[in-house]
Amino acid sequence: MSTKRDYYEILGVKKSANLDEIKKAYRELALRYHPDRVPHEQKKEAEEKFKEISEAYAVLSDSQKRGLYDQYGHSGIDQKYAYEDIFKGADFSSVFEGLGEFGFGSSILDEVFGDLGFDIFGGRTGHRASRGRRGRDLEVAVSIGLEEAASGAEKTITLPRYETCVVCSGSGAKPGTKKTVCPQCKGQGRTIVSSGFFQMAQTCSRCSGEGSIMQTPCPECRGEGRSKITRKIKVKIPPGVDTGSNLRIRGEGEAGTVGRGDLYVAIEVKPHPVFERHGNDLLTEVTISLPKAILGGEVEVATLNSKVKMRIPAGTQSGKIFRLKEKGIPDVHDRGIGDELVRVVVDIPRSLSAEQRKAIEEFARASGEEINKESFGDKIKKAFK
């Protein structure tokens, strides 16, 4: 009785899965379990897992083999095909079709796995020049005030990053010396490892895929071709940014063999003591006196840049919100300017002078209030809570 696991179970798909679903499952598992992508102590286990999922895909992606397997199980496959022949006809290149948008081509052998430093089943074992790599992207966080978020700002940040070595111009070799052919891969940039039917081409560990090695490393960068340098970089922050905004500054990341990475600046806008931000609008509060709430008048209101006079209509209730047009934050995409929302809070006096109390009581009598049971002032306080 076969001790092999069910092929559908191995790929984690249903027996009714179509070819696209099988390809997708294999692609994800192949990238997860390839021996070159796991820690050294997990390589042996990963190799077995990788062989297992590749065998499952080779059968289930072939309609004839899949038909035999569905009808007779592993015994049907073993009787019809030799172990090595299971992989004949399996279209591994089609597994990674459609990934061009991510910078990969359509070939699993050359484009997808090649970028990771290996090929499977010994595919295309001829020389391949090592690919240059773009420098690593960097990210820094910058805190700014609300006023800076509204008007824009320029910040100087200190950034440690790797840059091309000025002594060897990035070659890694001591000036005046030359590189020689790697004795381990004979200039191929990769080596072939075989295990039964399974062959794997992986990046040469001696030359890191370059095909050549340097006899005398550069004394400045010790053969790396890059040196870590601290730079001061000026960053222009546009008006309208908010916490969570990310600015991309092209070419200010680390140096690589074929260009620099980018710098991403994560913005954090610090809380403001007077204003709350809601999108591009600002919310603030202003306190007015009871007479002004009843009779109306003007009140001075702070904006981000100055102070303005705002009219209070007679009979204004506590909690009423007024809108000051275009006194908020500019939209970061130039779609106008937000408003300032002013919430009015009516200040109810906690104590009254004799004259004030007399005036209020007269007002209460004129209003038909029974001032002996509950003071008019208390009623006003309740009304504005």
The architecture of the domain spanning 7-120 is Orthogonal Bundle (1.10)
120-150 residues labelled b (16+ CB within 10 A) or e (exposed): bbebeeeebebeeebbeebebebebebebbb
- Per-residue tokens: 292: 């002004």
| pLDDT of amino acid 62 | 87
* Res 194: pLDDT: 61
Per-residue pLDDT averaged across 318-328, rounded? 96
CA distance 115 to 34: 13
Question: Where does the pLDDT of residue 379 fall: very low under 50, low under 70, confident under 90, or very high at 90 and above?
Answer: low
- State the pLDDT at residue 345: 96
What top-level class would CATH report for the domain 138-178+215-269?
Answer: mainly beta
Most confident of 34-38, 77-81, 151-155, 375-379: 151-155
CATH topology (fold) of 276-383: HSP40/DNAj peptide-binding domain (2.60.260)
pLDDT tens profile 167-207: 888 888 888 888 888 888 888 888 876 654 456 677 787 77
pTM of the model: 0.54
Confidence grade of residue 317 (pLDDT, cut at 50, 70, 90)? very high
Rounded to the nearest angstrom, the gap between the alpha carbon of residue 172 and the centroid of all alpha carbons in its chain is 32
Report d(CA 380, CA 377) in Å as an integer.
5
Asked if 292 contacts 276 with a C-beta cutoff of 8 angstroms, the reply is no
139-168 residue pLDDT tens? 999 999 999 999 999 999 999 998 888 888
Summarize the confidence of residues 42-62 as an average pLDDT: 86
Once rounded to an integer, what is the mean pLDDT over residues 312-318?
A: 95
Higher pLDDT: 314 or 216? It is 314
Q: In degrees, to the nearest 5, what angle opens at C-alpha 325 toward C-alphas 321 and 328?
A: 90
Task: Give the residue ranges of DSSP H helices in the chain.
Answer: 7-11, 19-33, 43-60, 63-72, 74-80, 113-115, 146-151, 290-295, 354-366, 376-383
Question: Which pLDDT does position 308 carry in this prediction?
Answer: 95
Structure tokens at 11: 């790929």
Residues 57 and 90: beta-carbon distance below 8 Å = yes
User: Is pLDDT at 112 greater than 60 in this prediction?
Assistant: no
Q: Is 170 within 8 Å of 198 (Cβ atoms)?
A: no
pLDDT of 257 above 80: no
Neighbours of 88 (CB within 10 A): 11
pLDDT of 26 strictly over 50: yes
For residue 8, the model assigns a pLDDT of 93
- Better-predicted residue by pLDDT, 28 or 382: 28
Domain boundaries defined on the chain: 7-120, 138-178+215-269, 276-383
Residue showing tokens 């990341």: 253
**CATH topology agreement for domains 138-178+215-269 and 276-383:** yes
Identify the weakest region by mean pLDDT among 36-50, 172-186, 244-258, 362-376.
362-376
Q: Which of 177, 206, 64, 37 has the alpha carbon at shortest distance from 118?
A: 37
Instruction: Locate 10 and state its tokens.
Output: 């191995």
Residue 173 DSSP label: B
pLDDT of residue 87: 65
Amino acid at 105: G
